[in-house]
């Protein structure tokens, strides 16, 4: 059972709310909230997207990103620096997958789980700099992770695919609880197997 508060938001998604992220998003950033609900409500997990070879970014992650880009979200890298006694040191952030109106959103579909550390640290930094009010992570539920691993042969994948070290909720939760995002509120949307579509 998750130690993060679970909220009932969208069919097909397990949603978790850290530091009142949902309230801040829904009532403080209504346009961005509407975008997120629209994109994820319409999202489906087609067989073909799972079977496709990953490359630099999986078909599923690209599809979700593109729907946000259509709504005015952008991939964003912030140029930041630290000044100590008038000496400047560059401290650039990693790129945020999708950014709009002080909401930072990352899609972690099939990466190695240390990518969560990078994402949460980005949220922490951007929140501390008052650039972002909320961080959002779109990822796989652990239920989906296990389902994909069990059915991997149907997608033409070997035993190493969808392993325990790839991004899914059970890998994210302890990082949030451990303070990885600092004071930044975080809302997690974890995809479940119920939105799988057999499009063969």
Phi, psi at 60, each rounded to 5°: -65, -45
The reported pLDDT for the residue numbered 165 is 82
Ordered by start, the domain boundaries in the chain are: 6-192
- pLDDT at residue 52 in the model: 81
Q: CB neighbours of 161 closer than 8 A, spacing ≥ 6? A: 148, 149, 152, 155
pLDDT for residue 81 is more than 80:
no
Q: Express each pLDDT in 87-139 by its tens digit.
A: 777 666 678 999 999 999 999 988 889 999 999 999 999 999 999 999 999 99
At residue 25, the pLDDT reads 98
How far is Cα 41 from Cα 20, in angstroms, rounded to an integer? Answer: 21
C-alpha to C-alpha distances, 113 to 91, 124, 170, 185, nearest whole angstrom: 23, 18, 10, 20
Q: Write down the pTM of the prediction.
A: 0.93
Residue 177: pLDDT over 60: yes
| 3 state DSSP class of 98 | strand
The second-level CATH assignment, the architecture, of 6-192 is: 3-Layer(aba) Sandwich (3.40)
62-73 pLDDT tens trace:
999 999 999 999
Closest among 142, 114, 138, 152 to 186, alpha carbons compared: 138
Torsion angles phi and psi, residue 98, rounded to 5: -140, 130
Distance, first Cα to last Cα, the chain: 35
């Amino acid at each position: 059972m998750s130690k993060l508060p679970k909220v009932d938001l969208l069919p097909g998604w397990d949603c978790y709310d850290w530091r009142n992220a949902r309230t801040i998003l829904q009532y403080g950033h209504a346009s961005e909230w509407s975008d997120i609900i629209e994109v994820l409500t319409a999202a489906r997990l087609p067989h073909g997207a799972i079977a496709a070879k990953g490359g630099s970014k999986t078909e599923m992650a690209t599809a979700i990103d593109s729907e946000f880009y259509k709504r005015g979200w952008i991939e964003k890298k912030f140029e930041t620096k630290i000044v100590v006694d008038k000496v400047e040191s560059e401290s650039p952030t990693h790129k945020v997958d999708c950014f709009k109106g002080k909401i930072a959103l990352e899609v972690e579909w099939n990466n190695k789980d240390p990518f969560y550390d990078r994402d949460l640290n980005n949220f922490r930094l951007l929140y501390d700099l008052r650039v972002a009010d909320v961080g959002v992570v779109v990822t796989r539920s652990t239920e989906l992770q296990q389902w994909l691993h069990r059915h991997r042969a149907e997608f033409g994948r070997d035993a190493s695919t969808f392993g325990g070290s790839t991004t899914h909720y059970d890998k994210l939760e302890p990082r949030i609880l451990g303070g990885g995002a600092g004071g930044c509120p975080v809302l997690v949307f974890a995809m479940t197997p119920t939105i799988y579509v057999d499009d063969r």
